[in-house]
Chain A
Amino acid sequence: MDGIFPSLGDGLALPDSDSVYPITHPHPLPLACLEDYDPLMQVQLSHPARTVEVEGPKKVKELLRELNLVVEAHLVIKGDDLVTEDEMLYDGDQIEIRPVISGGSPRFTPHVSRLTSQE
């Protein structure tokens, strides 16, 4: 059989380990860990592109202040929608903070709770 179970001949097949358990998550998490797992707010930033996790709930203006970002130089996008500074953001929300200055932010040093990825 092609695809998930590559053929070993004579009708025998072994599971393709990468297909069954993707390399990035080689072992399923124990149930206890899943119960304790509380997804934080995922905040996508630019210049350089990276994602940080921030604990909610908090208002947009509080998030910007925590990240040391100036309101006038950024837009906050929740999902596909623009949100105003008084909007409340919660754990699990997907947020993008988009710089509006052409050419990017020259001096930016965010203070964040957790850095999850950096490109």
Chain B
Amino acid sequence: MNCTKCKTKAVIGLPRHNAAFCKSCFNGFVHDQVARAIKSEKMFGREDRILVAVSGGKDSLALWDILLKLGYRADALYVNLGIGTYSVQSHSKVTKFAEAVATSHGATLHLQTVEQEAGAGIKELAQLIHRPTCSTCGTIKRYQFNRVAIKQQYDVMATGHNLDDEAARLLGNVLHWQEEYLDKQGPSLPASVEGFAKKVKPLYRLSERELAAYAVLNRIDYIVEECPMAKGSKVLLYKEVLNRLETESPGTKQMFYWGFLEKQSTKQPTATTMTEKDRAVLHPCTSCSQPTTAEVCSYCKMMARAKTVATR
């Protein structure tokens, strides 16, 4: 198989684009897809300060690498979740990448530890408050990333969600007809109220396989092992189903998610926009001042409950 662009030996075939690329042309393709996502969704500009949420996985490290190579001002935040050897390894991968690549671009890595912030790791917290680990993890990560982005005055927060993540999430929402979540499935969410950072997903045009290939080809050392808490997750099942469809019918994932985005953008504007809706229901948490629909935000409620149970 030869590269579609330069005709040398290809290292990856991309059936959904009816193309194959050598390393150099593949890097060009990946950078171009991210640049197109940033421009078309008006994610950020050259002067904006970006905070990338990194986990030690392929997507977030690839995102940080790509943004730095495209010349953006991108720092990163890693939240150590306290999941045994998995967190030890992922922490090590992130710090190694920061030392080897990011520092030379003048970028900074911020570190947070759930155990220091909350007094226990994710697993222990979830057990204390009788909530699923992944849901506890999501609440804590979203809260901590937003807090750091606001406190350190970043213009925008970027996450490594890729095409597979978004297509799987959309499938889950459609299967359960959770229409109220569809508005928030876009790759660029505005800072609708004070205290919420703008959130963007610059990798939504790239598949999980393409990002893994980018990491391997560019010698980005990422954590391949699965998160021990994610076993049996529904999202994994949706991804598996979508990948079977994609193999039989290349382009299925992008048609599903990008088609959804197109429909959303051409939809008749409703009486109230997402920003207006947010402004109507969100106000500062009485405990920490971050935006919430309740009197006390879910993070503060969770921490209060964990403290009560722990002191019994």
Q: Which residues of A contact B (CB under 8 A)?
A: 46-47, 70-75, 77, 81-87, 98-107
Contacts and interface: CB of A to CB of B under 8 A. Distances in A.
Contacts of A83: 11
A107 B246 CA distance: 17
Given A46-B224, A75-B209, A81 B11 contact: yes
Nearest to B21: A84
A94 to B, nearest CB: 15
Given A82-B213, A84-B20, A71 B247 contact: yes
B10 interface: yes
Contacts of A82: 11-12, 213, 216-217
B208 interface: yes
Interface of B is mostly: helix
Tell me if A's interface is mostly helix, strand, loop or mixed.
loop
B230 A103 contact: yes
B227 interface: yes
Contacts of B164: 101
B216 A103 contact: no
Interface in B210-256: 211-213, 216-217, 224-227, 230-233, 235-237, 239-240, 243-244, 246-247
B57 interface: yes
Contact of B246 (A72, A77, A98): A72
B236 to A, nearest CB: 4
24 contacts: A47-B226, A70-B240, A72-B246, A72-B247, A73-B240, A74-B209, A81-B11, A82-B217, A84-B10, A84-B12, A85-B13, A86-B13, A100-B58, A100-B208, A100-B212, A102-B57, A103-B226, A103-B230, A103-B233, A103-B236, A104-B226, A104-B230, A106-B232, A106-B240
Contacts of B232: 106
A86 B71 CA distance: 36
A15 to B, nearest CB: 39
B239 A101 contact: yes
A97 B149 CA distance: 37
B237 A106 contact: yes
Contact of B11 (A84, A98, A101, A107): A84
Nearest to A87: B1
Contacts of B233: 103, 106
Interface in B177-202: none
Contact of B59 (A47, A102, A106): A102
Nearest to B246: A72
Given A83-B11, A105-B240, 11 more contacts: A71-B247, A72-B209, A72-B246, A72-B247, A74-B209, A82-B12, A98-B216, A100-B208, A102-B226, A104-B230, A106-B240
